[in-house]
Structure 1
Amino acid sequence: MASEYTTTEYIQHHLANATMCNTDTGVAFNKACADAGFWAIHIDTMAWSIGLGILFLYFFRRVAKKASTGVPSKTQAFVELVVGFVNDNVVSTFHGRSALIAPLALTIFVWVLLMNLMDLVPVDVIPTIAGWIGQYGFGMDPHDVYIKAVPTTDLNLTLALALGVFALIIFYSIKMKGVLGFAKELSFTPFNHWAFIPVNLILELVTLFARPLSLALRLFGNLYASELIFILIATIGLWQLPLHFMWAVFHILVLPLQAFIFMMLTIVYLSLASEDH
């Protein structure tokens, strides 16, 4: 597929999302959506993230329904290992009491990990299949078929995840401290004097808003850079195979690490929000 484009076109094509938007003439896709801004939807990000989320729920629910107290199967042992790993981190990090945190942490870790693992699929496989479907199924030019299979390389998705965590931070802060207590924490920390209220508000609000922003940008930046390197490796032709293998082996460690960091920071932020000073 790389030979059909110049290097610049090849990279741009692989980094472009399948975008849908509404225009004055009806529903449009990709290039016609250039000016749609906020109202454009990345349908590949939506499809892959929702699909992988359903896969996670189906797989874990199926294992849970078939779980036995006897000698576990390899699949059950694997799921129990993942659940135990997440639970141990929640118990050691979250100092409040909430039935939501452990399931939330498990969902974040497994879901983000599955989305990250799509980065190991060779970069030409899914776009080529999508191009064939567009060409032979819908009569489209394959060059006009765009798809990104790694949802976490889309800043819109990582920001959406981070904003969900941010909403929980606000919820737990108000639940544990009350509205006035939360406002007092923002106003009288770190300097416990009324004269420093403006300074405290600036420091605390910057810290508060930096949490979801850092969550989103850290995950997006690492996965986007990783995908870009895979694409650059693919541009060199047949010589890409050993380089692709080496980079993929390295990423077997990096991809779970990014999911773990996102999960742990979520637990830490919610633990801080739950502390009643």
Structure 2
Amino acid sequence: MSESNSQGYISHHLHFLQVDLRDFSVVDSVKATDQSAFQQCMTNGGEQENCLTQVGTEKCKLTDLGSGVCYAEHHASAESKIVNPYTLNLDSLGLTVILGFLFLILFKYASKKTTTGVPSKLQCFLEMIFEFVQSTVTSIFKRKSKLIAPLSLTVFMWIFFMNLMDLLPIDLIPELAKKLGIPYFRVVPSADVNVTLSMAVCVFLLIFAFSFKNIGVTGFLKSLTLHPFHHWAFIPVNFLLEGVSLLSKPISLGLRLFGNMYAGEMIFILIALLPLWYIQWVLNVPWALFHILIVTLQAFIFMVLTIVYLSMASEED
């Protein structure tokens, strides 16, 4: 595969299905202004890129997705930045919601199948996960809370499902999406920094909620201004140190998950660029087996740090 084709392959697989909220157009996607002329050009053996240039293009709209008229247009677009308040990543957001509902449906189904007889394999597996999360919460969080255990289970399973999408064949979902008329589709929501930081911000807000509930607003302000140096003269220094420590929690929490999953996804993409299929197979299988550990470990780390941060926020001292 040539260097330009390799760059195009990587760029395509790392591109989100982004929608510009200002005009509801699909970022870096175009359609032919004259569909009949474009189809005629393609029928005559013309290449897609040349036919689009010859006929002329316009932005592909959100309503055009699935109709088979949208085509990817790879270029350095200002709209495809990671942080852009005007765009929405439909693939990451949609899969996050779907996987969240899958988690709820799976556990609801298992709970309804609970019987006094021999439990099913699914029930035994989910009970193992439930007991594992419960024991982790009990060993870290020493106060009573009706929220922390369900929250920890949700965080662990939700992130695990999102990470698990990285084990699907790298071209499977994007190629299916392309045949359905969707030019881009990324299948690992946790490789989207917007998703991971959003979850980290939710944990960050819970830190405030737990702190206000257990030590009050005054106690929370004292923890920022009178620690570690318990003297009024050191209030600015204390506030700077504690403020940095507080803000680093959601940033590290979100970026750690994003970085690990992005790196794993990139390795799968690079393996797919290798020229011989048996070399890809030899490298893909060991990396996929090792990646199962990473998928589980990253969900566990996010859950444990969530419990630890909320436990620290619940301390009265």
- Same fold at TM > 0.5: yes
Quote the residue 2:114 is aligned against. 67
Q: Which of 95, 99, 103 is residue 52 of structure 1 equivalent to?
A: 99
What is the CA distance between 1:34 and its match in structure 2? 3.7
Deviations 1:20-79 (A, max 9, x none): 1133xx310122684482121000001111111100000100111111233211111111
Residues 1:197 and 2:235 aligned together: yes
What is the CA distance between 1:96 and its match in structure 2? 1.6
What is the CA distance between 1:242 and its match in structure 2? 1.4
8 Å CA contact 2:21, 2:88 repeated in 1 = no
1:205 and 1:78 mapped to 2: Cα distance?
42
TM-score normalised according to structure 2 size: 0.81
Q: Which amino acid aligns with 2:11?
A: Q
Larger Cα Rg: Structure 1 or Structure 2? 2
Does the residue aligned with 2:316 lie in a helix, a strand or coil? Answer: coil
Q: Which of 9, 23, 28 is residue 25 of structure 2 equivalent to?
A: 28
Structure 1: which 4+ aligned runs deviate by more than 6 Å?
Answer: none
Does the residue aligned with 1:29 lie in a helix, a strand or coil? Answer: strand
Quote the residue 2:187 is aligned against. 149
1:198 and 1:224 mapped to 2: Cα distance?
38
Give the length in aligned residue pairs.
Answer: 265
Q: Which of 171, 177, 202 is residue 164 of structure 1 equivalent to?
A: 202
2:92 and 2:163 mapped to 1: Cα distance?
12
Deviations 1:193-247 (A, max 9, x none): 1111111000101000100000000000000001001000000141211111111
Identity within the alignment, %: 49
Quote the residue 2:14 is aligned against. 15
| Structure with more contact order per residue of length (Cα contacts < 8 Å, sep ≥ 6) | 1
The root-mean-square deviation of aligned C-alpha atoms, in Å, is 1.6
Quote the residue 1:220 is aligned against. 258
Structure number having the greater helix percentage: 1
Quote the residue 2:33 is aligned against. none
Q: Which of 124, 133, 143 is residue 77 of structure 1 equivalent to?
A: 124
Unaligned runs of 5+ in 2: 29-58, 60-76
Deviations 1:75-107 (A, max 9, x none): 111110000000000000011211000000000
Unaligned runs of 5+ in 1: 135-139
Does the residue aligned with 2:190 lie in a helix, a strand or coil? Answer: helix
1:78 and 1:262 mapped to 2: Cα distance?
21
